[in-house]
Every structure is written in C-alpha cells, then in structure tokens.
Structure 1
Amino acid sequence: MTRRGFLVPAAAALASACSPLAALNALGPRDGGARRLARGLSYGDDPRQRMDLLGPTAAAAKPWPVLVFFYGGGWDSGSRAHYGWAAHALAARGFVVAVPDYRLVPTVHFPGFIEDAAAATARAAELAGTWGGDPARLGVLGHSAGAHLAMMIALDRRYMEGAGAPGLIKAAAGLAGPYEFLPLDVPASINAFGRAPDLTLTQPVTFVRADAPPLWLGHGTDDEVVHAEDTTILCERMTAAGGRCEATLYTGLNHADLIATFSPLFRKKAPVLDDVSAFLQRELA
C-alpha cells in the first residue's frame, strides 16, 4: 500500500521493527516504583491466552486505574515476555498493567486475535481488584498491530459484548497503529484479514461513533511501516462522528521509535510516555 496503511514490504518491516524492541528487556534500565504482580494468568484454554500483571510499588489512597497493553508484530508474531519494559514504564506512572499474549496467524485469522484481546481485557478487569486495580477505570492501548487490537475492541461494540463486558473500556490509546488499510495488498494484512467476508469490518475507522471511549493516537512522521495518515484519518473521522479524539505527530520518529521512547534509554527523543500517560490518567481519574 502506498497511500495509507502499510508500506511495502510491510510483513518484513513489522517483524524487523518489533524484534529489536525485545532487547530492551535485557538492556534496561527501568523506572523505579513498579513491580511484577503476577505471571502467566489465564484468560482461556490456549497456551497463548495468558497474561502478566505489573503495578506500582507505592501505596495509593484509592485503587489504581487499569491498563491492558497489546504489543505489535503484524498479527503473526510477538510475546509478552519481550515487553515487560514497556509495561514497567506504565506501571511506574500509576497503573495496574496487564500484558496479554494472543493467538497469532496462522493459528487463527480475523477475528480470532481481536476476540482474544477482548477476552483478555475482560479477564484483566476481573483480576484487577485482587492486585490493587479499579476495573471501573480501565483503558486499553497498543503499538502497531496491538494498536489495531485496542481500537477494534474499543470501537466495535461486538467484541466486548461477546466477552461479557460491554462498556468496560473507558479510554483507548494507539501508537503507530494501522486503522485504515484497505485494499489488502501486502502479506501481513492479507494473511490476517483476507478471509473476512466483509473487509470493512476489519477496519477501526468503520466503527467511529459519538459514544465511543475517548481516543489518544500517536504517530511518528518518519514511520515507514504504517503511514501517519492512518492516525490522522481515524482521529478526523472520530471527531466528525461526534466522538472525542486527540492526535499527536512526533517529528522524526519512526515505527519502532514511538514505543521505544517508553524506555529510559530513549525517552529524551520525545515525550510519548508523558503524553499518553497524562491522557489516560485524566480519562481514568
């Protein structure tokens, strides 16, 4: 795709962009004030349907807001084990953070991975109270393909209704997400969505609505994996529908940079963590 959505060759680019991020788990350093609460909590029977929980170490006057973070990987790769550093950064900002794995292509295709995202979010809400979180103040966010998952379950009511938790999501944030990528013309999107009988139902922009949770969208202007135009289009359509959306474009940042700025090693490049945390703290207050 050359105008919006994925740039060619998207499948290889997504894989190469996301894989180096896993090294940040080993490189460190990490923010103080956060800790792992639980590992490998189940939200389904498949081995991929597991999540980790992280949270603040500080005491709170009231329960912490809850976030569910979805990593990227082109819907066919990725592991929660590679993104502890990102969840740690969010937990240090005052959130109980769930990081789920989800089933991947070719084991499943659309809508299987989105159904997993919804099921993981519903389960995170059920577990949150045990670990100091407030399930009534829950948001979702993701990077790349994970941003697509976050937007789909926030905007298309059917997924959270199917998970038995309608209205659960109170805010949603996306980093470098693909939100409008028709026609399907690269392997990553064809393999994930090509079997859908109605391709419009695979696109977050289809489901903009006035009563949707408020959105925050961030994108790098130098992103050569997913066009920044996707963020602009979704935010404009959300606003036109009467919904709430904030979009921020970060000059000079590429696809991996946007989430890498969650690490202290790269945080000076742009205030992405500050911006998204401020939005989520405000909306989940």
Structure 2
Amino acid sequence: MARTHRQWLGTLISALVLLALGGCSPVKLLNALTPEASFTRTAGIAYGEDPRQKLDVYAPRHPLEDAPVVVFFYGGSWNSGEREDYTFVGEALASQGIVAVIADYRLYPQVRYPLFLEDGARAVAWTRAHIRQYSGNPQRLYLMGHSSGGYNAAMLALDPQWLAAVGMAPKDLSGWIGLAGPYDFLPIENPDVRPVFFWPDSPPQSQPINHVSRGAPPALLIAASKDELVNPTRNTGGLASKLRAAGVPVQDLYYSRPNHITLVATLSRPLRSLAPVLKQVVGFIKHTPGQ
C-alpha cells in the first residue's frame, strides 16, 4: 500500500534530522532536492569591497517583463550564514515569477551592530540600480528575511537612516516580509547574540519595534506559533500591533506545524505542505503591487 502524504513527510523530516546528526547539513539536502529548471542564477556579484559583500540573483527562467523583486536576508544570529545555502529560497521565488536576490553580509566577530545593516542597505541599493538587467522592476522592490535576517529586513524598512545612507528611503520599498524575526528582544537572552549588540549596554535604537511610523511600507509577518527561539507573541504579534496602530498595512500569520528553523524551509519544494508560506508571500506581493 502506498504511503500517505503525512507518512512521507514524516519520513523526509526524520531523514533531514538524521543527516544533520551525521554531519550533513539539512539545507544541503533541501538544495539537492531543488530543481534548477525554473531559474537562472548569476552568482558572486560584488556590491562592496569586502569578501562577504556579495550576492546572487535568481531570475525566472522565462521572466515576465518588470517582474517583482525580493531581496532576501538569511538568519544565523548574525554569527553564521552563507547565501549558497538558500538556493531553495531563490528557486521558490523564481518559480513564481519573482526575481530573487540573496545577499551575504558581514557577521560577528568581524562586525557588530549596526554594520551588517549598512551591508544590507548597500545590497538593496545595488539591486535597485541593476535589477533591470535581470528583468526585475526596481519599482516593485520588496525585502524579506528569516530570523536575524528578518530583523535586518525590518530595520531597513522601518529605520530610515540605513537606506538614506545609500540615497534611498523606505518609501522606495513596495513592502517587506518577516519570517520569525526578532523585533523586540531586549534584554538579550541568547549568549550568541549578546556580543553582537554590546550587551549589557544594547542600544534601544537597535530594536525594530522602536522605529514604527505611519509612513512605513506594508508588511507581512509570519511566525511559528510554537517558536521556542523567538517569542512569536512578543515579536511578530507585538510589531504587528504597533504597525496596525500606526495605520500601516500589516498581516500577521502563525502556523503550528513548522518550528523556528523549518518555517523558512517550508519555501522548499519538499516541505511546502508544512505551511503555505510561499503562497502567502506570493499573494502579499501580488496584492501590494508597488510604488
């Protein structure tokens, strides 16, 4: 008898866990299972002089003219992460007719807050200036991030100083998407994150929730309802409430099946049935059409 879909999914997740325990990265398996027919990747584009200041562009294989563009920032507690690990994100977006830009940025201990935000702003400015070469529309520019990458996206969208430094403003963004982002996390409990934000003297201005204003871009905030690493009620729920009170269009969604890590993994083809994250992202972009 054929396995049910739930049995198959359980087997796949178990395999991912076993591979992780055996020293094989689960994201490498996800990327190995990611088809390449839907995108064309241009890799290793420099947006700055540092070796970490590089990005990859995933353009739809058969792009529509003036496709929307998403700049994606990955998580890793500002201590780790490689753009190559997120091919499955690039494929997910490109398969839906969206040009994806996945950017590396400098990490601790090379830098601390706020220098990785300066990197993010420079990556966004590069995208706005050059994305037409990849059939992207710079007037339909969105930011997206998972975990600490969601924080980066939030700060660029909410605190005007970072984009202002590269000749842009939050109004140049059509919207932003946060997946399990930390937006209100003082005092810092995570020992890996403390030195990044100068604990115990972490500046209040480092918190996205303190930069909400009426002119902020529309937002889609998604979280795992049982996230044990980033409290979804305080972070996603708290930021959504403050944005709503300021009159900013925002939708917050919570899913019970993914956890903090697998929330972003639901963008991959093998795990999309865990939660309709990709569907919600595409719908947000479709119904938030641009400037």
Q: Could you tell me which residue of structure 2 aligns to residue 188 of structure 1?
A: 192
Q: Does 1:154 align with 2:153?
A: no
Q: Cα gap change, 1:204/1:20 in structure 2, threshold over 3 Å: closer, same or farther?
A: farther
Task: Find the partner of 2:268 among 249, 253, 263.
Answer: 263
2:204 alignment partner AA: T
1:112 offset after TM fit, Å?
A: 0.4
In structure 2, the residue matched to 1:72 is 75
Aligned-partner residue type, residue 248 of structure 2: G
Label 1:196 to 1:39 Cα distance change in 2 as closer, same or farther (>3 A).
Answer: farther
Structure 2 distance, partners of 1:195, 1:158, is 23
Number of the residue aligned with 1:254: 259
2:213 corresponds in structure 1 to: 209
In the alignment, structure 1 residue 220 sits paired with structure 2 residue 232: no
| Bigger Rg over Cα | 2
Q: Tell me the distance in 2 between the aligned counterparts of 1:189 and 1:29.
A: 31
Q: C-alpha distance in 2, partners of 1:75/1:59?
A: 33
Could you tell me how far 1:59 is from its partner in structure 2? Answer: 4.1
Q: Match of 1:22? A: 27
Output the CA distance in 1 between the equivalents of 2:200 and 2:130.
33
Q: Is the 8 A contact 1:30 1:263 kept in 2?
A: no
- Contact 2:257–2:274 (CA under 8 A) maintained in structure 1: no
Q: Which stretch has the larger CA shift, 157-166 or 44-53?
A: 157-166
Distance 2:174 2:31 in 1: 33
The code of the aligned residue for 2:32 comes to L
The secondary structure found in structure 2 opposite 1:234 is helix
Match of 2:53 in 1: 49
Structure 2: give runs of 5+ residues left out of the alignment.
1-19
Aligned counterpart for 1:115 among listed residues 114, 118, 142: 118
Q: CA deviation at 1:74?
A: 0.4
Deviation at 1:31, TM superposition (A): 7.0
Counterparts in 2 of 1:25 and 1:251: CA distance versus 1, 3 Å: closer
Residues 165-207 of structure 1: CA deviation (Å, up to 9, x unaligned): 2232220000011010011232233111116966211111001
Q: Whose RCO is larger (CA < 8 A, sep 6+)?
A: 1
Q: CA RMSD in A?
A: 1.8
1-structure distance, mates of 2:109, 2:266 = 31
Structure 2: distance between partners of 1:64 and 1:268? 26
Conservation of the 8 A alpha-carbon contact between 1:21 and 1:256 = no
Question: What is the identity, as a one-letter code, of the residue corresponding to 1:277?
Answer: V
Q: Does 1:281 align with 2:286?
A: yes
* 1:81 is the counterpart of 2:84: yes
Taking the aligned partners of 2:286 and 2:161, their CA distance within structure 1 comes to 26
In structure 2, how many angstroms separate the alpha carbons of the residues matched to 1:254 and 1:81? 22
SS at match of 2:27: helix
One-letter code aligned to 1:161? A
Higher alpha-carbon deviation: 162-171 or 208-217: 162-171
- Stretches of structure 1 that go unaligned for 5 or more consecutive residues are 1-15
Three-state SS of the structure 2 residue aligned to 1:248 is: strand
Q: Percent identity?
A: 36
Change (3 A) 1:273 1:59: closer
CA displacement at 1:164 relative to structure 2:
1.4
Q: Distance in 1 between matches of 2:211 and 2:80?
A: 26
TM-score with structure 2 setting the length = 0.87
8 Å CA contact retained: 1:139, 1:172: yes
Aligned to 1:236: 241
